[in-house]
């Protein structure tokens, strides 16, 4: 009855119906036995809950709207294999299911189940081409200034202590606290400039320090120290304040703050961190999406990684390759932008996984290379056997030193002043008035990879091959605009990652529907266009 009614109501099909016909059962209950105990009250089918969660993000619905769709939408009943009179379930079941997915790597295992079905259906394969890019994700909590963070951290701790032991807290309360922390802390522009801001911040500091001192007193109940917001208050005070030589609590200047990867921006989500990338500033996370891009198959998301915002793209390259190899979906060619690759990563990808990491290597940023009128690094020949560099004039370096910079190893070759000072090309080689020229190169294998890639990426053939990377931008745009990727629905890194995995699976669902949609996409000609065509005019 459900099948007949669904096709009568939707003769062209819907994405849910097309997915059901192509993949049959995407998730079976047996795939989720490890999520549930063997005894207890019966639950709604976990396989169907998983599919409902994917459909929910495909249409960017709330939990309540998704549960209503299960009860009222014919195409959803068709996709889920339900009878028309099936009553569905309460919307709270969806949040309980996501909480189970947030434990360990269960969300990634759910994505793996879908990918296995796609591989079995011949819609996805390994050793093809894949591409990766990242975008920023806004946290679900309000973005706070440093001053608001200090005040709101005190308020959050007071709220939690009040719930845990109100009688202990009453003697500590000062008359101004009711007005200061009775409502959420919202501070606009503070009159009086930096001095007034510092005074207000140190006012919050004294209140918070009084509370922390009392909590850690010997006669205080031990359970208060274990409260989450009390520990968060302590961490915020470490990040934002310091003790001066006179023993006074002081507000840190911006230049004295810990790095953004260590401090957080809200007491309600300690995984939300501040970050700046070019002209974008945000507090939240960063999501890395990898998709297949073979011409004869649908473009499907194969990997999703969620990190705190300050984590740089290049730190995820090895993890993406390792995860894809574990899933037996490692590509033969992985197309990325500059942020994801370095000579060392190119070498590792090829050596460990047989992956060609394709992308523009960072250009030579030396003064000579930028001016394109001097002797850049490429103008020097390297004699690796004798550990020497030879300049364009034939002079040989006199020293060869190993350097360690930012975790990378370099070899520095320095030339003698007796060779550099009388050189007629000195102005083109170095800007030093008296010193000699030196160059720093990577170890031989990495240096050769770097030089070769810098030459290759200037060719038209390489640029045509690399042009396919642009497609990942449209995938990110689709997930942001259609599936709500830009803002996290939940607090915390693990729950946000569950959202991103379900969003990726929703994207795959829509891609499958479009791949199998045989409806003609030819645009109907306008009356004027038809007239011009009949009159012999060509419209380009």
Residues with Cβ within 8 Å of 353's Cβ and at least 6 positions away in sequence, in order, are 321, 322, 324, 325, 330
Distance CA 271, CA 260 (A): 11
Q: How large is the average pLDDT for residues 458-482?
A: 96
Distance CA 83, CA 49 (A): 16
pLDDT, mean over the chain: 92
**pLDDT, tens digit, for every residue of 401-420?**
999 988 889 999 999 999 99
Does pLDDT of 109 surpass 90? yes
Concatenate the DSSP letters of all residues of 349-405 into one string: IIIII--EEESPPPPP-SHHHHHTSS--GGGSEEETTTTEEE-TTS-B-SEEEEEEE
Does pLDDT of 44 surpass 90? no
Collapsing DSSP to helix, strand or coil, 538 comes out as coil
Among 85-94, 333-342, 423-432, the minimum mean pLDDT is found in 423-432
Distance CA 125, CA 294 (A): 9
Token reading at 216? 């850690």
Q: Give the helix/strand (H/E) hosting 274.
A: strand 273-277
Task: State pTM to two decimals.
Answer: 0.90
Q: With beta carbons less than 8 A apart as the criterion, state whether 49 and 55 touch.
A: no
Token reading at 445? 């294998």
SS (H, E, C) 303-318: EEEEEECCCCHHHHHH
Strands 249-251 and 356-358: unpaired
Task: Quickly state the pLDDT bin for 29 (edges 50, 70, 90).
Answer: confident
pLDDT recorded at residue 103? 92
pLDDT recorded at residue 41? 62
Task: Quickly state the pLDDT bin for 387 (edges 50, 70, 90).
Answer: very high
Higher-pLDDT residue of 504, 40: 504
Q: How far is residue 46 from each of residues 49, 50, 64, 89, 164, measured CA to CA in Å?
A: 5, 6, 18, 12, 36
Does pLDDT of 312 surpass 60? yes
Residues with Cβ within 8 Å of 65's Cβ and at least 6 positions away in sequence, in order, are 56
Q: How large is the average pLDDT for residues 175-181?
A: 94
User: Helical H runs in 135-176?
Assistant: 146-164, 166-169
Residues with Cβ within 8 Å of 371's Cβ and at least 6 positions away in sequence, in order, are none
**pLDDT, tens digit, for every residue of 189-241?**
888 888 999 999 999 999 999 999 999 999 999 999 999 999 999 999 999 99
Does pLDDT of 37 surpass 60? yes
Does pLDDT of 540 surpass 60? no
Distance CA 302, CA 290 (A): 6
How far, in whole angstroms, is CA 283 from its chain's centroid? Answer: 12
Does pLDDT of 517 surpass 60? no
Higher-pLDDT residue of 15, 388: 388
**pLDDT, tens digit, for every residue of 313-339?**
999 999 999 999 999 999 999 999 999
pLDDT recorded at residue 123? 92
**pLDDT, tens digit, for every residue of 282-292?**
999 999 999 99
Does pLDDT of 38 surpass 70? no
pLDDT recorded at residue 524? 78
Q: How large is the average pLDDT for residues 350-358?
A: 97
Q: How large is the average pLDDT for residues 340-362?
A: 96
pLDDT exceeding 70 applies to what percent of the chain?
Answer: 97
Token reading at 268? 């309600």
Which residue is it, tokens 């007071």? 158
Signed CA dihedral, 280, 283, 284, 286: sign only: positive
Concatenate the DSSP letters of all residues of 440-477 into one string: EE--HHHHHHHHHHHHHTTSHHHHHHHGGGGHHHHHHH
Q: With beta carbons less than 8 A apart as the criterion, state whether 305 and 316 touch.
A: yes
């Amino acid at each position: 009855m459900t099948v007949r009614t669904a096709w009568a109501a939707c003769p062209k099909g819907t994405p849910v119906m097309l997915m059901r016909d192509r993949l049959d059962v995407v998730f079976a209950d047996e795939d989720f036995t490890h999520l549930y105990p063997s005894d207890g009250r019966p639950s709604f089918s976990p396989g169907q809950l998983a599919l409902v969660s994917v459909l929910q993000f495909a249409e960017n619905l709330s939990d309540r709207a998704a549960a209503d769709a299960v009860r009222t939408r014919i195409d959803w009943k068709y996709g889920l294999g339900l009878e028309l009179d099936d009553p569905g379930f309460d919307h709270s079941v969806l949040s309980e299911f996501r909480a189970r997915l947030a434990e360990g790597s269960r969300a990634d295992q759910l994505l793996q189940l879908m990918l296995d079905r796609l591989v079995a259906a011949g819609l996805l394969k390994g050793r093809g081409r894949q591409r990766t890019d990242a975008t920023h994700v806004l946290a679900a909590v309000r973005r706070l200034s440093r001053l608001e963070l200090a005040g709101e951290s005190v308020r959050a701790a007071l709220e939690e202590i009040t719930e845990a032991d109100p009688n202990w807290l009453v003697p500590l309360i000062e008359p101004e606290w009711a007005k200061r922390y009775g409502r959420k802390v919202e501070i606009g522009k503070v009159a009086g400039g930096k001095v007034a801001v510092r005074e207000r911040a140190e006012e919050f500091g004294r209140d918070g320090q009084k509370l922390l001192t009392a909590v850690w007193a010997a006669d205080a109940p031990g359970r208060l120290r274990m409260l989450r917001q009390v520990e968060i208050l302590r961490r915020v005070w470490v990040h934002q304040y310091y003790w001066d030589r006179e023993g006074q609590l002081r507000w840190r200047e911006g230049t004295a703050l810990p790095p953004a990867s260590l401090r957080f921006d809200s007491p309600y989500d300690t995984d939300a961190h501040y970050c700046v990338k070019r002209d974008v500033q945000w507090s939240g996370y960063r999501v890395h999406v990898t998709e297949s891009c073979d011409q004869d198959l649908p473009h499907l998301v194969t990997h999703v990684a969620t990190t705190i915002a300050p984590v740089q793209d290049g730190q995820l390259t090895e993890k993406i390759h390792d995860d894809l190899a574990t899933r037996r979906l490692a590509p033969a060619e992985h197309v990325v932008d500059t942020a994801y690759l370095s000579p060392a990563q190119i070498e590792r990808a090829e050596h460990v996984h047989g992956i060609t990491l394709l992308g523009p290597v960072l250009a030579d940023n030396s003064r000579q290379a930028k001016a394109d009128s001097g002797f850049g690094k490429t103008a020097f020949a390297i004699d690796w056997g004798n550990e020497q560099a030879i300049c364009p004039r034939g002079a040989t370096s006199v020293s060869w030193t190993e350097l360690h910079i930012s975790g990378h190893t370099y070899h520095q070759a320095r030339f003698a002043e007796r060779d550099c000072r009388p050189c007629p090309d000195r102005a083109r080689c170095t800007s030093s008035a008296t010193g000699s020229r030196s160059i720093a190169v990577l170890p031989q294998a990495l240096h050769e990879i770097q030089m070769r890639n810098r030459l290759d990426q200037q060719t038209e053939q390489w640029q045509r091959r690399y042009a396919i990377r642009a497609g990942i931008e449209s995938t990110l745009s689709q997930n942001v605009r259609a599936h709500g990727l830009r803002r996290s629905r939940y607090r915390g890194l693990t729950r946000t990652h569950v959202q991103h995995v379900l969003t990726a699976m929703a994207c795959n669902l829509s891609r499958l529907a479009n791949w199998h949609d045989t409806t003609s996409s030819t645009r109907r000609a306008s009356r004027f266009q038809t007239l011009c065509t009949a009159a012999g005019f060509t419209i380009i």
